[in-house]
A and B are shown apart, each in its own frame.
Chain A
Amino acid sequence: DAGVIQSPRHEVTEMGQEVTLRCKPISGHNSLFWYRQTMMRGLELLIYFNNNVPIDDSGMPEDRFSAKMPNASFSTLKIQPSEPRDSAVYFCASSLSDARRTRQYFGPGTRLTVT
């Protein structure tokens, strides 16, 4: 199994530009999570999908952030317009159906720098 796949691994963009991060969860997993990691705040959950449906997006910072999961094997996190304070490492994770009982498997992350 290839594990959770994220792309790109690194993204540098200018303030105001649109950024799209991509994630392919582990095959057979139907829970997907997007996290953000910064030095100041640590790891924070942004949004959680179950069976492709957004269950909780209360961690999404503001309307500039949006996430989609059009099918079981693909999800995107979009920031439009981007700001320097969005600079962070963004992780995607997946788990089997009951996320309370099973481990979450993390992708390698996308390091985003907004200048």
Chain B
Amino acid sequence: KQEVTQIPAALSVPEGENLVLNCSFTDSAIYNLQWFRQDPGKGLTSLLLIQSSQREQTSGRLNASLDKSSGRSTLYIAASQPGDSATYLCAVVLGSNYKLTFGKGTLLTVNP
């Protein structure tokens, strides 16, 4: 059974700092990996999708990397802003099916 773990569970940083969120998964036969953002009381917003054949994806100040062999992904946020405060979730799709398996998320707080 695929398990997805996110460390740390919570992170507080001062504005302007660069930071890294971590995601690990137990089954390396993934089809893709996605990073989502969830604001309090809101739905999930897809930030980046990395196909299994890719090593990284970038969108603005966000960069996500994927290392299938080690079962790890990182989300790098450059020059963090208070508006980046949210819960960030990582999810994987196994090669054999369509299901997204989610981690529990990292709660990020960026202090002004």
Contacts and interface: CB of A to CB of B under 8 A. Distances in A.
Bound pair (A, B): yes
Contact of B93 (A4, A91, A99, A107): A99
Nearest to A91: B43
Interface string A79-108: 000000000000101000001111111111
Contacts of A4: 43
A115 to B, nearest CB: 20
B72 interface: no
B43 A107 contact: yes
Contact of B49 (A103, A107, A109): A103
Contact of A45 (B31, B44, B99): B99
B98 A100 contact: yes
Interface string B83-111: 00000010101010111101111000000
A107 B44 CA distance: 7
Interface residues of A, number: 23
B22 to A, nearest CB: 16
Interface in B33-49: 34, 36, 41-46, 49
Contact of B89 (A31, A43, A48, A103): A43
Given A101-B32, A104-B46, A48 B99 contact: yes
B98 A31 contact: yes
Contacts of A33: 100
Given A104-B34, A108-B43, 15 more contacts: A42-B102, A43-B102, A45-B99, A56-B99, A91-B43, A93-B44, A100-B32, A101-B32, A102-B49, A103-B46, A104-B100, A106-B36, A106-B44, A106-B46, A107-B43
